[in-house]
Amino acid sequence: MGEDYTNIIYMPKVRVVSDINLRLGERANPTVGTFNIVGMPETTVGHKDGLILEITRLDKAVDNTI
């Protein structure tokens, strides 16, 4: 069996280009949704050409019940 890890996705500048419809609450059915985003480069310290996406992988899953 594989190992589970928690990843943090950092996108400093994005635009959501899809309709998002979220139902929250105790009786809401669990759903899987898809939405599209457009990442726009942002100049930051250490990324002169522009940062669009940065993924940080943690040593283990944040929720160890997985």
Per-residue pLDDT 10s for the chain (66 aa) are 677 788 999 988 888 888 777 777 778 777 777 778 898 888 777 777 788 888 999 987 777 554
Q: What's the confidence (pLDDT) of residue 65?
A: 58
Rounded Cα distance between 56 and 63, Å, is 16
Q: What's the confidence (pLDDT) of residue 57?
A: 93
Q: What's the confidence (pLDDT) of residue 64?
A: 58
Q: What's the confidence (pLDDT) of residue 56?
A: 95
Rounded Cα distance between 11 and 52, Å, is 6
